[in-house]
A and B are shown apart, each in its own frame.
Chain A
Amino acid sequence: MPDSQPFEPVIIGFTCNWCSYRAADLAGTARVKYPPNVRLIRLMCSGRLDPTFVLKALAGGADAVLITGCHPGECHYLEQNYKAMRRYLLLQRTLAQLGVEPQRVKLVWASAAEGVRLAAEITKLVEEIRALGPLNWPTGTGAAEAMFASPEQMVVQEVSA
């Protein structure tokens, strides 16, 4: 990407068929505007979200992932959003260990009536990720990128016992 253009993140959003996908529909019907950086995938429930989906998205070029579901206590399948919440918390820790900023994955509850809220949350996330910059695997000092760029310079350092 040329430097003159501002960084536009790509964000994958997972939505629940019963609440947040409908909230996205509602945002559309009400013509509420939000930035076009987010691309949504519909699941039947946030409980369907396999954490590997998130890792796959981040590995495949997404700069952030938005996970959405029904508010606690309002899950269409009674309580599966709690399972999504548990996985989300674990996932954030895993990402931190991998050197990825945990805020690249965000969990938002949005009921079917909250189109405006969902749009606002998307807008907020896009701004946050714009500020955070693109996701570079693996992140950190930049040494890793350099390492992959010119493997011939990889030096094995000997460490005395």
Chain B
Amino acid sequence: MSEKIGVYVCHCGSNIAGTVDVVDVARWAAEKLGRRGVIIARDYKFMCSSLGQELIEKDIKELGLTRVVVAACSPHLHERTFRTACARAGLNPYLCELVSIREQVSWVHTDKAAATAKAKAVISGGVERIIHHAPLEPLRVPIHPDTLVVGGGVAGIQAALELADAGQHVYLVEREPSIGGHMAQFDKTFPTLDCSACILTPKMVDVGNHPHITLLTWSEVEHVDGYVGNFTVSVRKRARSVNTSLCTGCGICEQKCPKKVVDTVFEAGLGQRKAVYTPFAQAVPKYPVIDRENCTFFLKGTCKACEKFCPTGAIDFKQEDEMLTLQVGNIILTTGFDLFDAKRIPQYGYGRLPNVFTSLEFERLSNAAGPTNGQIVLRDKVTVPKSVGIIHCVGSRDRNYNNYCSAICCMQSLKFAHLVEERIGATVYNCYIDMRTPAKGYEEFYQRLLEEGTFFVRGKVAEVTDVARLPGEEGKLIMQVEDTLIGKQRRIPVDMVILSAGLEPRYDAKEVAHRFGLSCSADGWFIERHPKLDPVATMTEGIYIAGCAQGPKDIPASVVQGSAAAARVLGRILQKEIALEPVRATIDENKCSGCRICNDLCPFNAILFHEDRAVSEVNPALCQGCGTCIAACPANAISGTGFSDEQIMAQLEGLLLLNLERVPA
């Protein structure tokens, strides 16, 4: 055995040493694996500390180690740390292997003897595997300076503006006719009660006018190819049926259009729009779209009122969807959330009892630009309610629906209570489970509401009903709730009920995640690289997430993440190139029989077939290193760096401790 291997067993304080006898493990490795090339085995309190790293560096220099195995935490945490340490000492970083004895041993097992035995086997596997490692060089690829931002809500707007203001080009793709997202629907924003439109629309206008932003609304990403630094993205720009180079945004077409449609998106079903429309007055871009599913001309072949009256001849019924191909280096996903469908909780009566509203409906009701011009009225659009009940945690913190807290509902409900009291002076009952007001200025807002005289009832509402049982309940909606602070059942009659519905992942979040190579959490939100320390990066290099796509959050947090994602992308762009893991498949032409079995297995079309020589070849720029072709090759002609047959077979032998009986080669 010509290799000189160093084994380093980390205590991780008591995280590992509490369950695994690390001293014994190191002693065992030195003794039993000595014949396999282990010349030194040490245990140390924190291998990832600078002193721990120096230990490795010193041994590489003084003992001439040619391989390093670190038994510590998951390679997803500290692989880079130890590879870098090896590189500093002059050892190729890919000759270092990190085996997990924390996440996969000490944290999941309780029996100390069994855990210690497993740790030994795991290290033995790592030692056998690393003998077959080869020094590798990372693949260096240039970073395309342009960025794609998907989703034009406040997080996407923020990310796009940060990048564009720094002089980098951004493509902002939005599936609705205008950017703005959910924030554009709101009336006031908590806790300061600034008008949502007043603070958002200037940013929207900046996006629309920015020389470095290409805004693609009424568009969707259909396909993503490539890898960090070099993504090729296909975007379907749906036919607007309006020639934007002629349209002035005057709005005459919208006035003249005879077809009214219930607006389920922007007005949350409370208001109507026309078949040709801009969703709201401050829409960016200002150009309307024709909704072909509802347009009389597209349905029946006659009408064309919009075309007749358009002063610039901008209406174009023949326009077709356009497929655009964009080259970008990085992608930020800010695809937002869907509101929990309150109909799923039938006992709250939404959809059955007319005066039960969702939070988004109330936002539109209270918005001066909304369907009632800001009048807070019942579904009949006339009657002003004298009492209003607000139910928190609808669809959140509920095992029947979503376990998680939607983070915004407490503050949103407080805001609603304030608006109701301020605008119509009605009595407000807030039924909450726990009051959660953790950010700057939030608790103060709650205190203000307490002083304003809102009634707070601590309890989860069991039912909203219109069946009167007691005097004074006729014609009212009754909230049946256990007031847990006084320990009594209460029936609270009100005129209007607002359901503070929770946030859910977009209905197509899984599909989108798959398109961009991401994973979703069990709840369906996109998974970040690390929940605390890397919240906007993902496990897929070059793809970042921000805003509610990552999990429920309010506007300040969404803006923070938008900026953070932009900063991460800027950092990448400034590096100009990126080093990729050299995990790739290669084909030995001498062994390849030209059977072409591998050709069809590759999902990235990375395998070319040379007709003249009758052999296949892997294009390393396209290969993503999954290794399916390696496993399928009947001639064993394909090998994978980092995951070769030899490496895996050797690790297997090591894990099964077959190597201990082996005589050194």
- A residues with CB within 8 A of B: 10, 12, 18-19, 21-22, 24-25, 27-29, 31-36, 39-45, 47-51, 53, 56-57, 60-62, 70, 73-74, 76-80, 83, 87, 111-114, 119
Contacts and interface: CB of A to CB of B under 8 A. Distances in A.
Contact of A113 (B104, B522, B540, B583): B522
A40 B539 contact: no
Contacts of B656: 10, 12, 57, 60-62
Interface of B: 74-76, 100, 102-105, 107-111, 114-115, 117-118, 121-122, 125, 510, 514, 517, 519-522, 527, 539-540, 583, 601, 603-604, 624-628, 630-632, 640, 643, 645, 648-649, 651-653, 655-656, 658
Nearest to B540: A76
25 contacts: A10-B656, A25-B100, A25-B103, A27-B103, A28-B107, A33-B110, A34-B109, A36-B109, A36-B111, A39-B122, A47-B627, A47-B628, A47-B631, A48-B628, A48-B640, A48-B643, A50-B631, A56-B649, A61-B658, A70-B519, A74-B514, A77-B604, A83-B628, A83-B631, A112-B539
A45 B625 CA distance: 9
Contacts of B604: 77-78
Contacts of B108: 27-28, 31-34, 36, 119
Contacts of A70: 519
B346 to A, nearest CB: 29
A113 B517 CA distance: 15
Contacts of B74: 25, 28
B527 A112 contact: yes
B648 A44 contact: no
A112 B648 CA distance: 22
Given A28-B102, A50-B648, 19 more contacts: A24-B103, A27-B103, A31-B107, A34-B109, A43-B643, A47-B628, A50-B630, A61-B656, A74-B519, A77-B604, A78-B603, A79-B603, A80-B601, A80-B628, A83-B628, A111-B520, A112-B539, A113-B520, A114-B522
A60 B520 CA distance: 37
Contacts of B651: 41
Contacts of B640: 44, 48
Given A12-B655, A48-B631, A28 B104 contact: yes
B154 to A, nearest CB: 26
Of all A-B residue pairs in the complex, the 8 with the closest CB atoms, nearest first, are A28-B103, A48-B627, A47-B628, A77-B626, A45-B626, A28-B107, A78-B603, A50-B631
A49 B74 CA distance: 21
Given A44-B583, A48-B628, A60 B521 contact: no
Contact of B118 (A36, A56, A62, A111): A36
A76 B517 contact: yes
Contact of A24 (B104, B648, B653, B655): B104
Given A36-B114, A49-B631, A83-B601, A77 B649 contact: no
Given A22-B76, A25-B76, A48 B626 contact: yes
Given A43-B648, A57-B652, A87 B631 contact: yes
Contacts of A41: 125, 648, 651-652, 655
A15 to B, nearest CB: 10
B627 A29 contact: no
A70 B652 CA distance: 22
A29 B625 contact: no
A24 B100 CA distance: 10
B204 to A, nearest CB: 34
A73 B515 CA distance: 11
A27 B627 CA distance: 26
A62 B656 CA distance: 7
B500 to A, nearest CB: 26
Contact of B653 (A10, A22, A60, A119): A60
Contacts of A56: 649, 652
Contacts of A22: 76, 539
B527 A113 contact: yes
Given A25-B100, A77-B603, A112-B527, A33 B648 contact: no
Contacts of B539: 18, 22, 112
Most chain B beta-carbon neighbours within 10 Å: one of A19, A32, A44, A57: A44
Contacts of A80: 601, 603, 626, 628
Given A77-B626, A87-B631, A53 B652 contact: yes
B125 to A, nearest CB: 7
Contact of A60 (B105, B625, B658): B658
Contacts of B540: 76
Contacts of B110: 33
Contacts of A77: 603-604, 624, 626, 628
A80 to B, nearest CB: 5
A85 to B, nearest CB: 12
A45 B623 CA distance: 13
Contacts of A24: 103-104
A44 B628 CA distance: 9
Nearest to B630: A48
Contacts of B117: 36
A114 B649 CA distance: 28
B627 A44 contact: yes
A81 B152 CA distance: 34
A80 B118 CA distance: 30
Contacts of B111: 36
A34 to B, nearest CB: 6
B519 A18 contact: yes
Contacts of B100: 25, 28
A114 B519 CA distance: 11
Contacts of A50: 630-631, 645, 648
